[in-house]
Amino acid sequence: MDTTIRPQFKFDNSFARSMEGFFSSCQAESANAPRWLQFNHVLAEELGLDPVALDSEAGLAIFSGNDIPEGSQPIAQAYAGHQFGGFSPQLGDGRALLLGEVIDTQQLRRDIQLKGSGRTPFSRGGDGKAAIGPVLREYLVGEAMQSLGVPTTRALAAVATGNVVYRETTLPGAILTRVAASHIRVGTFQYAAARRDEDKIRQLADYSIQRHYPETANAENPYLAFFAAVADAQASLVARWMGIGFIHGVMNTDNMTISGETIDYGPCAFMDSYSASTVFSSIDHGGRYAYSNQPAILIWNLSRLAETLIPLVNPKQEKAVELLTETIECIQPLYESYWLTAMRAKIGLSTEDPSDSQLINDLFTAMEKGNADFTLVFRRLSNALRGDSELVRGLFTNPVDFDAWEQRWWRRFEQDGISAETSAEMMDSLNPIYIPRNHKVEEALAAAVDREDLVPFKKLLNVLTHPFDELEENEDYAEPAPPTEIPYKTFCGT
Ligand code: AMP
Ligand code: MG
């Protein structure tokens, strides 16, 4: 490996340049004995970086926080946020450091951030560090989401630091290098609003408009149009989560981006057998962020964003509230239309019928009653279209409800007039066979943490990067976990 090439990033740090008051400059802590865990060549290329130069000792030094690349201006960003409904006026990057921004090969501006690189002025009581398990978990789930076509932050690199992290036990430390369209959150707006600083809110809104929704700058009311654009992106995002059985787990306002990318894969998980009330997070006692609650929380979070924009939308507070409320009232139908479009396609329909929503909801009811696996039901529907219903039927403990549903589905399908094979192919390109199954993720993380064995992680990552391509040799990656007495729980990625 050639270590003489110094990796170049061509940073252009617009946030550090123009968003004074929203960050603190700081440095990464040094890593004692950095070691590579994973590097994302494809993403590096997409970012216009040199993967060969980065996949080296010099790259390892950068991604472990031991070397600051040329042009980087490391900062920790400030934000506030509602966490489980309670407001904290100051959170911020307590364990993350933005190295800078690059313009990728598609001319899009992307943040490059170290997560787990040590304390910052926003760390409060925390150590600013991350452990190998949660870092690899975020890597796996984020890259799986990307391959599933869901907007998400990405993972460029994961490295072990050689430092010890103290949690319930001592754990090996690691750093994830995360890439995002930006790290501006609903909570960033709340940070400015909590300080009652209208100029700061405007500065942040103008920056966000320019960076993410430049078309709204020309609208009659740019700030209202900006709000509608964020609401649209987020409604579309949550509809996609719902379509793959994804539960974010901590939909706090500080974990909700303005760009519409999924962010902060902590206690998230995909459900196996379908149940609307599924919760995985060990700290979500009230089920606030349960699967079926996610669309309601979407609206709740966007309402918090709307509140911060009141002074910008109209000088008369009453008028501003009226305009923003009108937009908020559109979110539910907007979300439903995204959901319905996605779900129709998932069951192989190409046209619209007023009965479709009922048809889809009845499938979910049958799945819930029959303890059927979310991912496999949708995937195996295409087998039914190809003449073999037994694979999908067999997923239901008692298939009577499914049988009745299937008859209705066939009638609706015939009305569509598309050939079964065409629809089946479309369905296989939308309904994954491989998702990050909890037991497979845990298995891969345990091997990496307990035995420094990255083989299961790399294999799983490879499978998840091709979620629609069914291969016989990968059969066990498609299977749900064997039944256990104890329900699966996830823990915050701290
Ligand atoms: P998260 O759970 O990643 O959404 O984090 C919520 C807040 O807690 C953010 O402000 C984080 O920066 C902060 N935080 C989480 N873990 C740590 C840690 N180990 N050290 C410092 N701050 C942390
Ligand atoms: Mg967070």
Q: Which atom of ligand 1 is nearest to the CA of 492?
A: 2
Burial of 68 (0-12, 13-18, 19+ CB in 10 A): middle
Mean pLDDT, rounded, for 413-439: 96
The torsion angles phi and psi of 117, rounded to 5 degrees, stand at -95, 15
Q: Which atom of ligand 1 is nearest to the CA of 255?
A: 4
Q: What is the pLDDT of residue 493?
A: 57
Q: What is the pLDDT of residue 492?
A: 64
Nearest ligand to the CA atom of 115:
1
Task: Tell me what percent of the residues of the chain surpass a pLDDT of 90.
Answer: 94
Q: What is the pLDDT of residue 489?
A: 81
Name the residue of 22, 83, 95 to mutate for ligand 1: max ligand atoms within 8 A of Cβ. 95
Q: Whole-angstrom Cα distance, residue 376 to residue 373?
A: 6
Ion ligand 2 — residues with CB < 5 Å: 255, 264
Cβ atoms of residues 373 and 395 within 8 Å: yes
Q: Is the pLDDT of residue 262 over 90?
A: yes
Nearest ligand to the CA atom of 83:
1
Q: What is the pLDDT of residue 249?
A: 96
Q: Which atom of ligand 1 is nearest to the CA of 494?
A: 16
Q: Whole-angstrom Cα distance, residue 175 to residue 182?
A: 19
Q: Is the pLDDT of residue 73 over 60?
A: yes
Q: Which residues form the catalytic set?
A: 254
- How many Å lie between the centroid of ligand 2 and the Cα of residue 414? 47
CA-CA-CA-CA dihedral for 220, 222, 225, 229, to nearest 10? 140
- pLDDT per position as a tens digit, 286-318: 999 999 999 999 999 999 999 999 999 999 999
